[in-house]
Amino acid sequence: MLIDSHAHLQDPELLPDLEAVLARAQAAGVEGIICAGYDLTSSKLAVELAGRYASVWAAVGLHPENLASLEAETFAELARLAQHPRVVAWGEIGLDYVNGAPDRDRQKEAFRRQLVQARALNLPVIIHDREAHADTLAILKEAGPRPRAGVMHCFSGSAAFAQECLALGYYISFAGPVTFKNARRVREVAATIPVERLLCETDSPYLSPEPYRGQRNEPARVLEVAGRLAALFGETLPTFAPHLTANARRLFGLEAFPGDSLRRPGHTILEDLREGEEHAREVR
């Protein structure tokens, strides 16, 4: 049994097919999925999905590419959502400097603000760091170490950077790229992470692992990631998977929830989206 520590089930690529996606994950042996938000709407959807499905937990937050407005009301609403019992983390948050990122100051402001909010709510954070290692580490050091600080999602940094993050209380998570044929450096770094601080993820619907590279990703394929990590440590997946699952449970404070499918009455965002899609198909 594995936990996909980072997926976007609310993404338009997955949402229309969600029941089948979750069924395939369960059949593959995925016992839990952390559904990460990236803006206010996706965070609301993550909470809703976590309230409906016993295998799903939610994280809420603003991704660095979704900072059109940094209004106080947005942060207040995220803080309200974060108090839902199925919310186990704040994220994904961080820095993204791809294509030059002219809004670096804005990204840093949002990053710092969300780190403060997560600490106040005693939630681990899910960190997005893309081509921004130095600034990401500097801000994490400003925030200071703490137990269960969070996870460096889809890690792409050096072994030295990973050690700095570990010292601050972060776990290190690897996704599909660790399986790529040309990703020798990523595997070399993964092999340096203490087993008790290692996580696996899919980042669905992105970064599908080998042999599915280029296809839409989904949580069932976390087995490919975990299998490659197991091989790096000279173990088989059945012997290695319990370590990864225990790590995710420890970091996110996961508890067992009764029932195979928790459903709430009433009209919801999910129904609104699905009805909109059905209407669009009828119009076409």
Q: Output the pLDDT for position 284.
A: 27
What does the longest C-alpha to C-alpha distance in the chain come to? 55
Amino acid, res. 25: A
Secondary structure of the chain: what % helix, strand, coil (to 5)? Answer: 50, 15, 35
Specify the CATH number for the domain of residue 71. 3.20.20.140
Q: What angle do CA 2, 188, 201 make, to 5 degrees?
A: 25
Please give the Cα distance from 268 to 35 (Å, whole number): 17
Count: domains in the chain: 1
Please give the Cα distance from 5 to 29 (Å, whole number): 14
Please give the Cα distance from 19 to 258 (Å, whole number): 19
Of the candidates 121, 117, 150, the one whose C-alpha atom is nearest the C-alpha of residue 34 is 150
Residue tagged 């939610």 (tokens): 58
CB of 28 closer than 8 Å to CB of 220: yes
Please give the Cα distance from 219 to 196 (Å, whole number): 22
Of the candidates 1, 4, 2, the one whose C-alpha atom is nearest the C-alpha of residue 175 is 4
Q: Output the pLDDT for position 99.
A: 85
User: In this structure, what token pair is assigned to residue 59?
Assistant: 């994280």
Please give the Cα distance from 75 to 71 (Å, whole number): 7
CB of 78 closer than 8 Å to CB of 44: no
Provide the sign of the torsion angle of the four alpha carbons 146, 6, 202, 56, taken in this order.
positive
Residue tagged 């369960």 (tokens): 26
Of the candidates 224, 225, 95, the one whose C-alpha atom is nearest the C-alpha of residue 172 is 225
Provide the sign of the torsion angle of the four alpha carbons 34, 125, 203, 226, taken in this order.
negative
Please give the Cα distance from 116 to 133 (Å, whole number): 20
Cα-based distances in Å from 147 to 51, 119, 122: 27, 11, 10
* Structural domain containing residue 259: 2-283
Please give the Cα distance from 110 to 28 (Å, whole number): 37
Please give the Cα distance from 261 to 36 (Å, whole number): 19
Instruction: Spell out the per-residue pLDDT of the chain, length 284, in tens.
Output: 999 999 999 999 999 999 999 999 999 999 999 999 999 999 999 999 999 999 999 999 999 998 977 788 899 999 999 999 999 999 999 999 998 888 999 999 999 999 999 999 999 999 999 999 999 999 999 999 999 999 999 999 999 999 999 999 999 999 999 999 999 999 999 999 999 999 999 999 999 999 999 999 999 999 999 999 999 999 999 999 999 999 999 999 996 444 333 333 333 445 544 443 443 333 22
